[in-house]
Structure 1
Amino acid sequence: MGKLFYQGHGSYRIISDKEIVIYVDPFAGEGYDLPADIVLITHEHPDHNNLARLHQKQDCVVIRPETILINGVYGSQSIDRITIQAVPAYNSGHDKNKCVGYVIELDGIKIYASGDTSTTDYMKDVLSKEAINYALLPIDGFYNMDPQEAANCAKVIGAVHSIPIHMKPGALFDRKLAETFMAEGRLILEPNEEIKL
C-alpha cells in the first residue's frame, strides 16, 4: 500500500507500493531522507522547487512546467507504471503558461496535486469525471484561493478525500485555518504526518 507524507506548506512525499519515491514541490519541513525517483515541480517560485533539500537517484526524473507544458499542451509521462498528467493551474499570481498541477496515478489511486491555483474550468470539465481519491488544495487566501473557494473546488472535483495545504506565508501549517476548510471527505494532515493510500 502506498503512503503520503505531508512535509508542510505545499510540500509532500508519495511512496508507491513498489517503493517508488515521489516528491511534490520540495521546499518545506522534513522527510527528505529517501532518495527521489521522481520530483514534480508545479512552478518555479522558490517555495516550490528547492531540489537541494533532497537526494536524487541516478535515474531520477524531474518534471517541471517547462518540460511538460509545451506550447499550451499539457503533457503526460509514464514512469515505473506511474502516470503523471499535467493539468491547468493558475490565478492572478500564477501564470497559466508557467504553472501546472498534476494528476498522479499509482497503484490504482489518483492524486490531484493542484499546485498554486484558484478555481479552473478543468476542475469541472475533467477532474470531476476522473474519480480522484485525494485532492491537495491550497487555502492561503493570499497567493491562492481561500478556504471557502477551495471547499467549493473540492465539491466540484468530488475526490474521496480533500486535503488543505499551503496555508500561510512562511508557515508549515495552520490548524485554525485548516479547520475552516469545510469540504466533504476533508482530511487534515499535520506536518510529518503520513497516511496509507
Structure 2
Amino acid sequence: MGKLFYQGHGSYRIVSDRGIVIYVDPFAGEGYDLPADIVLISHEHPDHNQLSLIQQKAGCVVLRPETILVDGIYGSQTIHGISVQAVPAYNIGHDKNKCVGYVVTVDDIKIYASGDTSTTDYMKDVLSHEKIDYAFLPIDGFYNMNPEEAAQCAKIIGATHTIPIHMKPGALFDRELAETFVADGRLILEPNDEITL
C-alpha cells in the first residue's frame, strides 16, 4: 500500500506501493529524506517551490505551471505509472495563468492537490465526477479561502477524505483552525503524520 506523509503547511510526500516518491509543494517541515522521482509545484511562491530541500533521482520529473500549463491548456503526464493531470487553481492572489492544482492517481487512488486556490468552476464541473479519494484544501482565509468556503468546496468535490492544509502564515499547522473546517470525511493530519493510502 502507498503512504502519504504530511510535512506541514502545503507540503506533503506520497510514496506509491512500488516506491515511487512524489513531493508536492516542497517548503515546510521534515520528511525530505527520500530521493524524489516526481516533484509537483503548484506555483512559484517561495512557500511552495523549495527544490533545494529535495535530492532528485536521476530522471526525476519536476512539474510546475510553466511546464504543464501552456497557452491555457492544462496538460497531463504519466510518469512511472503515476497519472498527473494539471487543473485550475486561482484566486485574487494567485494568477490563473501561473498556478495549477493536480489530480494525481497513485495505485488507483485519486488525490486532488489543490495548490493555492479558492472555489473554481472545475470543482463542480469535473472534480465532483472524479471520485476523488483524498482532497487537500487550503483554509487560511488570507491567501486562500477560509474554512467555511473550503467546507463548501469539499461538499462540491465529494472526496472520500478532505484534508485541511495551508493554515496560518508562517506556521506548519494550526489545530484550532483545522478544527473549524467541517466536512464529511474530514481528516486532520498534523506535521509528521503518515497514513496508508
Q: Does TM-score exceed 0.5, indicating one fold?
A: yes
Tell me what 2:147 maps to.
Answer: 147
Task: State the distance in 2 between where 1:78 and 1:52 align.
Answer: 24
Q: Secondary structure of 1:123's partner?
A: helix
1:65-110 Cα distance to aligned partner (Å, 9 max, x none) = 0000000000000001100000000000000000000000010100
Tell me what 1:28 maps to.
Answer: 28
1:187 and 2:187 correspond: yes
Task: State the distance in 2 between where 1:119 and 1:159 align.
Answer: 15
Shift in Å, 1:58: 1.1
Task: State the distance in 1 between where 2:137 and 2:14 align.
Answer: 16
Structure 2 regions of 5+ residues with no counterpart?
none
Runs of 4+ displaced beyond 6 Å: none
Structure 1 regions of 5+ residues with no counterpart?
none
Q: How does 1:1-197 map to 2 (within 5 A)?
A: 1-197=1-197
Task: State the distance in 2 between where 1:33 and 1:59 align.
Answer: 18
1:102-154 Cα distance to aligned partner (Å, 9 max, x none) = 00001010000000000000000000000000000000000000000000000
Q: Secondary structure of 2:49's partner?
A: coil
RMSD of the alignment, in Å?
Answer: 0.3
Q: TM-score, normalised by structure 2?
A: 1.00
Shift in Å, 1:164: 0.1
- % of aligned pairs identical? 80
Task: State the distance in 2 between where 1:112 and 1:102 align.
Answer: 6
Q: TM-score, normalised by structure 1?
A: 1.00
- The aligned amino acid for 1:97 is N
